[in-house]
Amino acid sequence: MFALQGQAITSDPLTVATVAVPLLLYFAIMWITAFTVGRRNGLSYAKTATLAFTAAGNNFELAIAVSISIWGVTSQQALAGVIGPLIEVPVPVALVYLSLWLRAQFRVER
């Protein structure tokens, strides 16, 4: 499916941005909110980080399967399902680095 949607991704950056920007915002808002809630509720770093990544996690595999089965592999819906994992990988990796940086704000756990 990535190969079939490759042309659409490279030829229509506005559509890609229309899908990617809300996904970026979703990940950031959910992760920051959950991390803040965990921290304010006195959770340990490990539990706070787990909460934040669970809240920000998404199930794009299901979205891709539904898009293909309902609208077809070359549809705009399937394109959105392809863009999702392209955002889903680098954003959480960046959030891991942010999480590790924020770890210094927690008491040392033993």
**Along the 110 residues of the chain, how does pLDDT read in single tens digits?**
677 777 878 888 888 888 888 888 888 999 999 999 999 999 999 999 999 998 888 666 666 777 778 888 888 877 887 787 788 889 889 999 999 999 988 865 54
Measured CA distances, 48 to 15, 57, 91, 106 (Å): 34, 14, 18, 10
Answer yes or no: is 110 within a domain: no
Left, alpha or beta for 75 (phi > 0: left; psi -120 to 50: alpha)?
A: beta
Q: What pLDDT is attached to residue 39?
A: 93
- CA 10, 14, 15: angle at the middle one, nearest 5? 80
Tokens at 37, concatenated: 């809630």
Answer yes or no: is 18 within a domain: yes
Q: What pLDDT is attached to residue 100?
A: 93
* Separation of alpha carbons 64 and 4, rounded Å: 13
Answer yes or no: is 29 within a domain: yes
Stated pTM of the model: 0.74
Answer yes or no: is 101 within a domain: yes
Answer yes or no: is 62 within a domain: yes
Answer yes or no: is 16 within a domain: yes
Residue 28: which domain range? 2-105
| Tally of domains in the chain | 1
| Residue-wise DSSP of 51-64 | HHHHHH---HHHHH
Residue with tokens 């229309």: 18
